[in-house]
Structure 1
């Protein structure tokens, strides 16, 4: 017989935070300052995704000075550098110690729904809880995306998602196809290429960015230009910007830009966007030239924005030569036979999709993405944090989490106060 969901008494909190990473801990930090009763549930350990879901040579793409968790900025001796994976884990763990949140690790939240009394009922691996407010801080990287046609690939060709890629030695001998040219894809290509592996890359629509330009790190220029403070409601694309891919570059070996045309000159085989697999035949759109040109257009636009800022503010900065293409494809290849090319493994680097199936509340669009403004949904008591473009370009990064967390904490505290006044009145 099915048990009634209220048969077991639940422990009540003013606020429950789901996710004990940097975003959830940042909200906890501000809630503690405001004296709000809450608990944080983390299904794994603090910094789990940084520790377990990144490759061995992973490092930040943004410089260390952008690590600005609430009252806990980067304090190392290399603010212009890029923290390696283990250093990121140490930074987040140190922040967790500072926050000293009411944290329960190893507790998975499996269901959130509205009770008849109006409270948010939260089912976990350790029992029932309820809350007036719930903050979802689980990120949007739940389910690795692998296309349906991947099942057509012959069994002798190894497949691995970027989430599970660790190092070149993990893959069998032979050539490797990386599918996807976002930040993860191009960095994995470089990892394989530097290890002497023969690499193929299916190039998607991701844009690219300069790393150093006119004597300065490009993200420093962009910070001064106010790019990281640009809000969703002021962006030309509006909410659609939340689904755009980040610019690719790398922090490896002190940081440098990545030009796929340079990779091609060094022997990496480039194709357009992958569209299908028929046995060992891998098929691509004839869009390689367009994708390379579009990425370069964004790259040049960023340089132009910096040039204008330098001119308007009469800044003394070295002049750089005009952009030029290092390589052009003779044609856009539309297929390759994996066996003939010697491809023995594929790394899927086409991203993730969120899994909010455990939230049984009407807060999502037709694509399963949450609807909100600055993390506040139209569903009473439900909030999100730690997502790209939650409010600004910096929202999904260490740079912008503090501001987003403080905003949500203050909003929640005010609503709790108003509801108590209402009950007393």
Structure 2
């Protein structure tokens, strides 16, 4: 069976792979996109049922297609987002092959390009783009042993409250996923403990503009790197219930028990750091700093946006903050489930090339790796803060596609003497 050849092979057909295909086509680069499941599969099968986009529909999209049936200021459901990428792939006629898994990519010795072993045969490509994104392998910290008498579940496996056994739930992680899931469980009638670590807590909207708009006009989407010491700070923002600011105090006053960062486990007892009040306070500082910057921007530019003094009102600390719980006997508290909203790690075990550091993370500059011909797309902070968001990955894909097209031109070059010999 002859080996198929292509110039560029894109691995993954989520938002990154679809964006990559559009820009490669615009650059005239022949390519194939391989997807082991369906287009945007993780949106469908690895997220909870009620999930919506974290940004409004006018913002969380590609430039070439609007949501036809979602109000621009509304937050599209996860299924609608997945359908959007299917529509976009069809619109640009992306050469996507679903149901094909990439098993191994290796550098060709003594010749250009790479050999790609797939579940549907072998392909040779001059370039390979890993567009599998940052959410590849769920991470559950090794705190509670697997044989503990409690169900442990990562947020990627959670679907809805009915999925969980009777009893209380400890949700570990108060970023966007953790806080939304904890709120949903509380509304379903469950007793909920939420472990809150360091976080940013931006306003969902302020003075008539959504948070994503403020990030844009204040230049924060274009930040090139995380501030030192903020690598483990999550962002607590949500589009649920039409979009509202995350308020941990409100959740506590509604019956949720907030605890500090989860520290250890022994003999059925989980212990927590004594940092809850500090984490809540630092989240408030972040929240108020955004309001301050927004007010200053409005004044500086003479904008006529309605004042919103009530946005600065901070509720009183609930008892669980002033008298924090430092340990929790799971059985005594009736906790039957620990839900880990603790993020993901990358997994490039299939990519057998010299493009990674000692920790297995991609070595790259704006997606261009240290292994010529290997590219990455969809990584957090690939070029700026907005890189892993829907609109941000589209712009990063253009940069990578332009680089691939430029390299093709270099490789196609031949000198006058070489051209003369070819014509002999």
TM-score, normalised by the number of residues in structure 2: 0.92
What per-residue deviation string (whole Å, max 9, x for no partner) do you get for residues 90-135 of structure 1? 2111112112222111111121121212321211112222211111
- Over the residues paired in the alignment, what is the CA RMSD in angstroms? 1.9
**Is residue 215 of structure 2 the alignment partner of residue 226 of structure 1?**
no
Q: 1:182 aligned to 2:171? A: no
- Aligned mate of 2:142, from 136, 142, 148: 148
2:281 aligned to which of 282, 293, 296: 293
- Deviation of the 1:394 alpha carbon: 1.8
Residue 52 of structure 2 aligns with which residue?
59
The equivalent residue for 2:270 is: 282
Distance, in Å, in 1 between the alignment partners of 2:245 and 2:389 is 19
User: How many Å separate the matches in 1 of 2:73 and 2:316?
Assistant: 28
- Structure 2 CA distance for partners of 1:202 and 1:246, relative to 1, 3 Å: closer
Measured against aligned partners, the alpha-carbon deviations of 1:24-67 in whole angstroms (never above 9, x if no partner) come to 11111121122211111101111210010111111011111113
- Corresponding residue of 2:314: 324
CA shift, 1:281, in A, is 0.7
- The one of 413, 417, 423 equivalent to 1:421 is 413
Query: Which residue of the other structure, out of 166, 190, 194, is the alignment partner of 1:197?
Result: 190
Q: Which residue of 2 aligns with 1:159?
A: 152
1:55-91: CA deviation from partner (whole Å, max 9, x where unpaired): 1111011111113325223344511110012211221
**1:9-408 to 2 correspondences below 5 Å:** 10-116=3-109, 117-151=111-145, 154-155=148-149, 157-232=150-225, 236-237=227-228, 243-317=231-305, 318-321=307-310, 322-328=312-318, 329-408=321-400
Aligned-partner Cα distance in 1 for 2:115–2:63: 29
Post-superposition CA distance 1:190-232 (Å, at most 9, x none): 1111112110011122221101212322222222222223334
Any conservation in 1 of the 2:6–2:125 contact (CA below 8 Å)?
A: yes
- Say whether the 8 Å CA contact 1:206–1:245 is kept in structure 2: yes
8 Å contact 2:40–2:85 — kept in the other structure? Answer: yes
Counterpart CA distance in 1 for 2:78 and 2:164 is 21
The alignment status of 1:412 with 2:400, answered yes or no, reads no
Write out per-residue CA displacement over residues 125-168 of structure 1, whole angstroms, 9 at most, x where no aligned residue.
1222221111110011111111223225523x212110010111
Counterparts in 2 of 1:284 and 1:236: CA distance versus 1, 3 Å: closer
TM-score by length of 1: 0.92
Runs of 4+ in 1 over 6 A off after TM superposition: none
Q: What count of residue pairs does the alignment treat as equivalent? A: 412
> Please, which moves more after superposition, 95-104 or 221-230?
221-230
- Alpha-carbon distance in structure 2 between the residues aligned to 1:71 and 1:92: 11
Distance in 2 separating the partners of 1:280 and 1:42: 42
Q: Secondary structure at the match of 1:69?
A: coil
Shift in alpha-carbon separation, 1:180–1:224, aligned structure 2, 3 A: same
Separation in 2, partners of 1:229, 1:72: 23
Query: d(CA) in 1 for partners of 2:412 and 2:133?
Result: 31
**Secondary structure in 1 matching 2:170:** strand
Q: Is the 8 A contact 1:212 1:256 kept in 2?
A: yes
- Going from structure 1 to structure 2, the CA distance change for 1:249 and 1:373 (only over 3 Å counts) comes to same
User: Do the aligned residues in 2 keep the contact of 1:262 with 1:326 (CA within 8 Å)?
Assistant: no
2:63/2:391 contact within 8 Å kept: no
- Structure 2 unaligned segments of length 5 or more: list them: 420-424
Contact 2:202 2:236 in 1 (8 A): yes
Cα offsets for 1:285-332 (capped at 9, x unmatched): 121112111222211111111111112112233141434243152233
Deviation at 1:18, TM superposition (A): 0.4
**Does structure 2 conserve the Cα–Cα contact (< 8 Å) formed by 1:184 and 1:349?**
yes
Q: Give the conservation status (yes or no) of the 8 Å contact 1:222–1:306.
A: no
